[in-house]
């Protein structure tokens, strides 16, 4: 039973390939780390999803049926919080290396609905933010944005419907006492619809705005 408990904290199988981990490996095996494709910084300009965004921090390129998709799936649907935290640490190191953000900035994880949170037991973007915070010391504010519960399941809808669907699903829950630089934290950026609507809701709260995600298409 104790071993099971440890398994929950440090899953003993790799999130990318399910092979057993050796003691020095946390959540992701060294072979899978090597398979991950770094996001090309030269592609930054292509990813201006929103004119307010100062800079994007993306660790890896999202490729279907690859290691990154399997890892993100484990994080989202299989309770692998350790993998989320470890990838957050990577992202934090990337942010530190780029030196583009001021020190008093706030991490705002993309919110999930209360229903989904209850089902999973956590919101993966908050765990990623905790990983970022562990190396950058930025504060996390997970009360600023909330998500309504009524969202239809997205897998059933077209891209256009998804944009419409997300409209107004993210709401400002509280006001900051003063404007602050904000980094929105997400697990994966695909259409940019989520970001767009989060930014709309954050209007008036931020000075400079950044985005950090584990992966982007
Ligand atoms: Zn692996």
The tens-digit pLDDT sequence of the chain (217 residues) is 455 555 555 558 999 999 999 989 999 999 999 999 999 876 665 556 678 888 889 999 999 999 999 999 999 999 999 999 999 999 999 999 987 777 789 999 999 988 888 888 999 999 999 999 999 999 999 999 999 865 455 555 666 666 555 556 899 999 999 999 999 999 999 888 889 899 999 999 999 999 999 999 8
Third-level CATH fold of 38-216:
Rossmann fold (3.40.50)
pTM: 0.87
Beta carbons of 101 and 75 less than 8 angstroms apart: no
- Separation of CA 129 and ligand 1 centre (Å): 23
Stretch (H or E) spanning 201 = helix 193-202
Please name the residues in contact with 35: beta carbons below 8 A apart, sequence gap of 6 or more. Answer: 16, 66, 67
H helices of 78-189, in order, are 81-98, 114-120, 124-136, 159-166
- pLDDT confidence of residue 166: 55
Residue ranges per domain, the chain? 38-216
- Separation of CA 28 and ligand 1 centre (Å): 6
- Separation of CA 25 and ligand 1 centre (Å): 10
- Separation of CA 130 and ligand 1 centre (Å): 23
- pLDDT confidence of residue 101: 77
Beta carbons of 208 and 52 less than 8 angstroms apart: no
Q: How far apart are CA 50 and CA 171, in angstroms?
A: 18
- 173 φ, ψ to 5°? -100, -25
Dihedral through CA 93, CA 99, CA 101, CA 102, nearest 10? 110
- Separation of CA 178 and ligand 1 centre (Å): 44
Q: How far apart are CA 206 and CA 105, in angstroms?
A: 10
- Separation of CA 37 and ligand 1 centre (Å): 14
CA-to-CA dists, residue 78 to 8, 15, 92, 130, 205, angstroms: 11, 9, 23, 19, 34
Tell me which residue of 124, 40, 92 sits closest to 212, measured CA to CA. Answer: 92
């Amino acid at each position: 039973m104790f071993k099971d408990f440890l398994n929950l904290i440090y899953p003993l199988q790799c999130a990318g390939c399910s092979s057993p981990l050796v003691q020095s490996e946390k959540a992701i095996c060294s072979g899978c780390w090597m398979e991950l494709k770094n996001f090309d910084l030269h592609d930054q300009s292509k990813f201006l999803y929103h004119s307010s965004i100062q800079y994007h921090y993306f660790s890896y390129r999202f490729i279907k049926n690859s290691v990154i998709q399997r890892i993100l799936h484990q994080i989202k649907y299989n309770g692998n919080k350790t993998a989320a935290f470890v990838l957050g640490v990577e992202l934090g190191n990337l942010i530190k290396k780029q030196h583009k953000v001021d020190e008093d900035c706030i991490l705002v994880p993309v919110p999930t609905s209360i229903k989904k949170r209850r089902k999973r037991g956590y919101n993966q973007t908050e765990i990623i933010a905790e990983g970022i915070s562990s190396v950058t010391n930025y504060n996390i504010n997970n009360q600023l944005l909330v998500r309504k519960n009524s969202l239809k399941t997205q897998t059933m809808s077209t891209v256009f419907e998804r944009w419409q669907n997300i409209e107004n699903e993210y709401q400002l829950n509280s006001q900051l006492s003063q404007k602050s630089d904000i980094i929105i934290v997400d697990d994966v950026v695909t259409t940019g619809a989520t970001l767009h609507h989060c930014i709309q809701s954050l209007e008036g709260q931020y000075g400079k705005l950044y985005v950090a995600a584990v992966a982007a298409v």
